[in-house]
Chains A and B, each alone.
Chain A
Amino acid sequence: MAAAAGAGAGAWAAQEKQFPPALLSFFIYNPRFGPREGEEENKILFYHPNEVEKNEKIRNVGLCEAIVQFTRTFSPSKPAKSLHTQKNRQFFNEPEENFWMVMVVRNPIIEKQSKDGKPIVEYQEEELLDKVYSSVLQQCYSMYKLFNGTFLKAMEDGGVKLLKERLEKFFHRYLQTLHLQSCDLLDIFGGISFFPLDKMTYLKIQSFINRMEESLNIVKYTAFLYNDQLIWSGLEQDDMRILYKYLTTSLFPRHIEPELAGRDSPIRAEMPGNLQHYGRFLTGPLNLNDPEAKCRFPKIFVNTDDSYEELHLIVYKAMSAAVCFMIDASVQLTLDFCRRLDSIVGPQLTVLASDICEQFNINKRMSGSEKEPQFKFIYFNHMNLAEKSTIHMRKTPSVSLTSVHPDLMKILGDINSDFTRVDEDEEIIVKAMSDYWVVGKKSDQRELYVILNQKNANLIEVNEEVKKLCATQFNNIFFLD
C-alpha cells in the first residue's frame, strides 16, 4: 500500500483509495495596501487559482488576515504558522514586513467504500507535518527572491504593478513544479549534498577556479559542482542553498548530456561541433558559431540583506563537472566574451572532470564494500548545510524516490520537530511497525536519523548498531554519545 506518487493504488477491487495531499490555493497579500472598507481587493498581490471569484478571494485573504491578527495578541513575537482544519491546512509565512504568503494544502484523503456502496471520505489530518510544508512555503519565497529580488525592491522599482507582474510570472510556473505529495524531511533541511574528494584533487579544483577568476576578471563569484553535488561555493551559504536547489531540481535535469542522448536526438545537432573539449553552456548561447546567438543569461539576486547584488548566472558544464560563473549584471556580456570563456574554460574543465572521475573511482575501489550503504540514514549538519541520505535514491523534479515506507518518513519528521523544540543534544529511539526501529540523534547542530530493520532486536542492540554506524561512517566528526 505504499504509494509514493500518484493517486490511487491497486485495482478497483481494493477497498480503499488514497489521495495524497494537493495544493488547493496559494496567495500573497499585503494588508497595508487596502486597509479601508471597499479596498480589500488591493491587498491581493497574487492568487492561485486565478479562476476563483473575486469575492471568494477577498474572503479567503480576509480570513487569514484575521487569524494572524487574532493570534498576535496571544503571541506577539511569534506569529501563527499554520491553521489546521479537517479538510485542509493553511500555512502562513511573512517573508518581508507586512507581506504575507499563504499556502493551502488539502489533507490526504482515504476513500472507503461503505457497506451501502457510498464512498466515505476520511480526511487524514495527522499525516501532514507542519514543518515540512512551512519549509516548502519558505522555499517558494527564497526561489522567487533568487530570480526577482525582494518584494520591497520591486515596489521601489515600479510600485505595486511591477510587483504583481513579477509574482504572476514567477509563481504561475513555479507552482506547477511543486510536488507536495513527495515533500519530506529533506525539505525541512534544504541542505546541500557535498561531493567527497581527496585533498589533492580539491586543491587542483581550487587552483583551477582561482586561475579562471583571474583570466576572466569580471567574474565575481564561482561555484563548482560535480555530479549534482557541490564542491566549492564562492557565494554565501544562504544564497548557495537556494541556487543549489534550483540547479539540481530544475536546470541540470533539463540538460541531459549529449553523450547520453541517442544518435538521432535533436540535442546532438545543437552541439557546436567542438571536438577538443566537452564544455558547453547550460545557460546562454547554445551554439557559439552562430553569430546571431543570443547571449542572455538568467539573472539572480544575492546578498539581499546587505549589498543586494544582481548577477548574470553562467552555468558551464563539461561531462559531469559544472561551473557557475556569476558576473555583475551591469556588465554587458557579448558573444566574444562567451567564446573566450569557452576557449579558456572548456579544455581545462574537461581535463579536471576526468581527473575527478578517475580519483572518485580509485577512492570507491579503495573503500570497497565496507562503505556500502547497508544503513539507511539521513544526516544533516545545520552549520554547513551538508546533507547525506542513503534513503533517497534520485532527486528528480517530479518525484523524490524513497526506499522506505512513507510512514517511517513521517516518524522522522516527528522526531525532527521534537529536536527543534529543545536546544540541547538529544537522542530518541522509536520502535515503529513490524521490526522497524528509528533512531534520531542530535548533537551540536548535527542531526542523524537511522532506520534499522532487525528482527527481535531490543533497545540495547539498536543502540549498539547506531554506535557502530557513527564510528564507521562518521568517524571524522565529533558525535556526542
Chain B
Amino acid sequence: VLPEKRTLKLLKSHNINVNWYMYCPESAVILLSTTVLENVLQPFYFRAGTMSKLPKFEIELPAAPKSTKLSLSERDIAMATIYGQLYVLFLRHHSRTSNSTGAEVVLYHLPREGACKKMHILKLNRTGKFALNVVDNLVVVHHQDTETSVIFDIKLRGEFDGAVTFHHPVLPARSIQPYQIPMAGPAAVTSQSPIPCKLYSSSWIVFQPDIIISASQGYLWNLQVKLEPIVKLLPDKGRLMDFLLQRKECKMVILSVCSQMLSESDRATLPVIATVFDKLNHEYKKYLDAEQSYTMAAEAGQSRSNPLLRRPVRTQAVLDQSDVYTHVLSAFVEKKEMPHKFVIAVLMEYIRSLNQFQIAVQHYLHELVIKTLVQHNLFYMLHQFLQYHVLSDSKPLACLLLSLESFYPPAHQLSLDMLKRLSTANDEIVEVLLSKHQVLAALRFIRGIGGHDNISARKFLDAAKQTEDNMLFYTIFRFFEQRNQRLRGSPNFTPGEHCEEHVAFFKQVFGDQALMRPTPF
C-alpha cells in the first residue's frame, strides 16, 4: 500500500489452495489453511514490504467417529502473542473414541525462523463449547455450559514429558465478574436501574486478543484480569509469586502479599518467606543487570551502532528495596505484637536474599535492623553482626552506633572501627576522639595520615583546655608552635586562627619565657 500515492501495488503473489485464512495484525503473520483436512497451515510473514514464506506445519486432529467429517475448523484456531512469542492456539475437542479427559488447547509456537513446534497443552478437563481470549499473557478459556472461565499461564511450571508441557488451570474455574450496564434512555424517562450484562450468552463473539462482543446487547467488551482476589485463592506462595511477577499491574498486589504473609494472623514460615524474597530479588537483579549493561554500552558509544539497544523498561514486577521497605518492612517492624525473634529473622532473610543476588543493601535497611535490635536490647547480637560485617560500613551507620554508646559501651569501639574502614571519614574520627577528650590520640592519628598541617589549631587547643590537664595543654600548644615555625617561619599564631585566648592562657600558666622563640633562618 502506498498511502501517499493512494495506490496499491502488487508486490508478490503465491498460488496455493486455501480453505480459510487467519491474520494476526500484531505480528503481521497470515495463516492459510490448506489441504483437504484443512489442518496443514501455511504461514506467511510480512515485513518491510516483503512477504516471506514460513515452513508449513500440520495440526493433529483428534480422532473422530467415521460419520463426522474430520477437518480443522477456522473457529478452533486462534493466533495470539504470549510473552512476546507468536502462538497458534488450537482448541482440540474431546474425542469420544479415545479416552481423553476432555478438551484441550494445544499451543504451537511459531517462531520467526524455524519450524513450528507443539509446545504446550492446556488441559480443560471438560467438554462443550469454548472460547479463547488472551489477556496480560494469560490464556483465558471460557466455557459456555458452566458459564465459567479458566486461566492458564504457560510460564508457570507444568508437567514436562520431554516434548510438551502440560498445564493445568491456575485457579479453579470462576465466572467473569458481571458488569452492571447503566441504561441511558431519553431524558424524559426516569433512568432505570442498571441491568447486568448477559454473560456467556450464545450471542457472544470472541476476537483476539481480549475482545468479546455481546451482539444481543450491542456492547463490545475488553476482558481484564483482576489480580487481588487471586491472592487469597492460591495458597502456595511460591507459585503465587511466580504468577504475579509475570503480570503487568502486579506491584501493589505483590506488596500486599508480602505484608500479608508477615502479618500475625497469616504468618508464613521462614522458608516460604525466604522463597518469596528470592523470587522478588531475582527479578530485581535481572533488571539491574540489564540497566547496567545498557549503561555500559551507551557509555562505550555502541548505542549508535546497535539500533536494537534500548533502555530496559522497568516493569511493575521489579520491586526494589525502597518499595519493600516503604510498603512492607517499615510497617511490619512497628507491629508491637510480633515476637522480636521473628522480626529480626525476616529482616535477616531479606538481607541474605539481597546478598545472594549480589545486590548492594541500602543503608536504611541496615538502620532498620540496628534500630530493631536496639529496641529489644539485643546488643550482643548487634555486636556479632557488626563483627562479621553483615551490616556494611557507612557513615550514617557509624554515627548511629556512636549515639548508642550510652546504652552499649562497645558501640564506641565498633563505630571507630567502621569509620577507619570507610577511609573517607578521618574528620569524623578526629571529632569522635576529641569528644572523648583523647586529644593526643586525635593528634597522633591525624599525624599518622598526614593531615596535621591542615587542622585547626583552635579546635585542638579548645579540647586540650577542656581536659584541665595543663601538661596536655602545654604539649598541644608546643606542637602547634612547632607547626607554625615549620610552615611560616615563626611560632606565632596568625590572627585568622583565633588562638589569642590560648596564647594568653599559656602565658598565664607557664609564663612568658615558655613561649617558643622564633629561630632565625
Contacts and interface: CB of A to CB of B under 8 A. Distances in A.
B380 A481 contact: no
B270 A210 contact: yes
B445 A476 contact: no
Interface residues of B, number: 37
B388 A197 contact: yes
A203 B390 CA distance: 7
Which of B351, B355, B409, B413 has the most CB atoms of chain A within a 10 A radius of its CB?
A: B413
B419 interface: yes
A477 interface: yes
A206 B344 CA distance: 10
Contacts of A214: 269-270, 342, 345
A476 B421 CA distance: 6
Nearest to A232: B384
Given A210-B348, A480-B444, 18 more contacts: A200-B355, A202-B390, A203-B352, A207-B274, A207-B349, A207-B352, A210-B270, A210-B344, A210-B349, A213-B341, A213-B345, A214-B270, A383-B413, A444-B412, A444-B413, A478-B419, A478-B429, A481-B448
A204 B410 contact: no
Interface of A: 194, 197, 199-200, 202-204, 206-207, 210-211, 213-214, 232-234, 236-237, 381, 383-384, 386, 425, 444-446, 476-478, 480-481
Nearest to A425: B441
Nearest to B342: A214
Nearest to B354: A203
A234 B356 CA distance: 24
A199 B356 contact: no
Given A476-B417, A476-B421, A199 B355 contact: yes
B432 to A, nearest CB: 10
A478 B433 CA distance: 12
Contact of A480 (B409, B419, B445): B445
Interface string B319-360: 000000000000000000000011011001101100110000
B416 interface: yes
B417 to A, nearest CB: 5
Interface string B360-398: 000000000000000000001101100111100000000
25 contacts: A197-B388, A199-B355, A199-B388, A199-B390, A200-B356, A202-B388, A203-B390, A207-B274, A207-B349, A210-B341, A210-B345, A211-B270, A214-B269, A214-B270, A214-B342, A233-B384, A234-B381, A383-B410, A425-B441, A445-B413, A476-B417, A478-B413, A480-B444, A481-B444, A481-B448
Contacts of A425: 441
B311 interface: no
Nearest to B420: A478
Interface in B415-470: 416-417, 419-421, 429, 441, 444-445, 448
Given A210-B349, A444-B413, A386 B420 contact: no
Interface in B291-325: none
A126 B9 CA distance: 114
Contact of A233 (B352, B380, B416): B380
B152 to A, nearest CB: 34
A478 B349 contact: no
A286 B42 CA distance: 72
Nearest to A212: B270
A231 to B, nearest CB: 8
